[in-house]
Copies of this chain bind each other. A is one copy, B any other.
Amino acid sequence: MSQKTPASADAPIEALRLDNQLCFALYGAANRMTRLYRPMLDALGLTYPQYLAMLVLWEASPRTVGALGDALDLDSSTLTPLLKRLEAGGLVERRRDPEDERRVIVALTDKGRALRDQAASVPEKLFCALDMPLEAMGALRERLKTVAR
């Protein structure tokens, strides 16, 4: 009895299936994306989140932990250990802001700046691997931004 589910108990499942689609598609696509990047980033000695942090720093180098967190939508409990690993790898420096000792300033080192050249080929490789029209990528990106509003 308990094994064979009666038909009436199946009814609520339809809703569960429906919503599952978007959240799971997002979950699966994000995991896939990480795996797609991995071989390229391994060559740079970066993880995927570390790569995202470096992208932000390559755009504007001295930044506080908080500003990085705003850009990446991550908080210090995630960023602090990540940044310590980047620091251990010699890619960034961390120091207290003398203007406000609560803040920590993260700045690229020469090595960190130099890595950008190595990373320059990553986007195109990924674009090829994805094999998706540029326009569709743009549309998808904009849609996703509204989800992450």
Assuming the A-B contacts A12-B117, A29-B26, A58-B13, are A18 and B123 also in contact, with contact meaning beta carbons closer than 8 angstroms in the complex?
Answer: yes
Closest CB in chain B relative to A65 CB, distance in Å: 18
What count of chain A residues pass the 8 Å CB interface test? 61
Q: Is the CB of A28 within 8 A of B146?
A: no
Stretch at the interface among A84-92, A95-103, A129-137: A129-137
Q: How many copies of the chain does the oligomer comprise?
A: 2
- Counting chain B CB atoms within 10 Å of each CB, the highest count among A20, A30, A73, A130 belongs to A30
- The closest CB in chain B to the CB of A120 belongs to B12
Chain B positions within 8 Å of A22 at CB level: 130, 137, 140-141, 144
Chain B positions within 8 Å of A124 at CB level: 15, 19
Q: What's the Cα separation between A130 and B19 when bound, in Å? A: 11
